[in-house]
Amino acid sequence: MILNALSSILKEAESSRAGTFFPMGFSERGVCEEMMTEPGFACLSAALRGTRKGEVDLQTVAWYQDALIPKLEQSRKQLGKIVVPASLTAGVSPTVRSAELLFDRLQNVLEHVEDFLHDECGESLDKAISLLDVLQEQFGRVF
């Protein structure tokens, strides 16, 4: 009897464990749940993948595109405002260069996405996803 009770308690505990405590950042359709407040290129990456699988429509991608263009511009301006004193240039310049490079590449991503939205060309979509993959890896190391 005790063993049966024990089994049911353990079963209950295991079934509770099956879910995750906090939901993931992306819904099943690959759409970023943070999109409504603060979109980022990491979310665009997931959305583009969803598009390739047919889970995310073009309108959603266009929505990301529209939100990210001013966002990128704003970050570029923010970076431009940071004036590093000469005594610190050696220590800070590599990070600034990495950020500038990142923003340039993200601009390229947006152009590929623009091409994709314009003529629905799979090649542009693949280029955008590949570039975002490379940036994802570099981004984690630098920032």
Tell me which residues touch another protein (CB under 8 A): 2-3, 6-18, 20-22, 24-25, 34, 38-43, 68, 71-72, 74-75, 78-79, 82, 84-85, 87-88, 91-92, 95-96, 98-99, 102-103, 106, 135, 139, 142-143
Closest to 64 in 3D by CA, of 31, 15, 89, 86: 31
Q: For residues 74 and 108, which CB has a smaller minimum distance to another protein in the complex?
A: 74
Q: Is 12 exposed, middle or buried (0-12, 13-18, 19+ CB in 10 A)?
A: exposed
CA separation for the pair 28, 22 (Å, rounded): 15
Residue 102 Cβ, how far from another protein at the closest point, in Å?
Answer: 6
Give me the least distance between CB of 92 and another protein, in Å please: 4
Closest approach of Cβ 136 to another protein, in Å?
A: 8
Q: Residue 31, class by beta-carbon neighbours within 10 Å (0-12 exposed, 13-18 middle, 19+ buried)?
A: buried
Q: How far is the CB of 123 from another protein (least distance, A)?
A: 24
Looking at the Cβ atoms of 54 and 91, the one nearer to another protein is 91
